[in-house]
Amino acid sequence: MSKITYLTDSWLITCVVSSATKQSEKMLLAARDAGAKGAVGHYAKGYGARERLGALGIAVETDKTVLTLLVSSEQRDIVVEAMFKAGELDRPGAGYIYVMPIERLATFIPESIMSRLREDNRVRQAL
């Protein structure tokens, strides 16, 4: 039976932007340049604002791209700021980004990285 290794210093960054623009590509490149190692992107459909606007709602883009990244606490603020700026999320209707702490994350971790995590007391093993 193998041991499960839990990482406890992980944060989930989620960003929702319009699929009609190239924002998501720019944001992913900015996240990578800021140190993020990987991301998951998928498409979604938005609801709510369009229905409330009636005839004007035709102009509201409902197709969305959702980007999700896992980062450490050292990377969190740097990656969020880089993505926010690259996606120009300071404009109305451009999208939004949020961050949530991950209590435990389990995955394969190479021994070279495990030794560094053990030194920093950032990993816990369970049977």
CATH class of 9-102: alpha beta
C-alpha distances (whole Å) from 73 to each of 15, 66, 90, 101, 117 are 17, 21, 23, 9, 13
Q: Between residues 115 and 24, which one has the greater pLDDT?
A: 24
Task: State the pLDDT confidence band at 57, using cuts at 50, 70 and 90.
Answer: very low
DSSP category for residue 58: G
pLDDT value, residue 9? 85
* The model's pTM: 0.78
Query: In this predicted model, what pLDDT tens digit does every residue of 100-114 receive, in sequence order?
Result: 999 988 888 888 888
Laid out side by side, the sheet with 4-7 consists of 105-106, 4-7, 123-126
Q: Mean pLDDT, the chain, as a whole number?
A: 84
pLDDT value, residue 122? 66
pLDDT value, residue 60? 56
- Tokens 């991301």 locate to 39
Residue 56 tokens, joined: 């004007």
Strands 40-45 and 4-7: unpaired
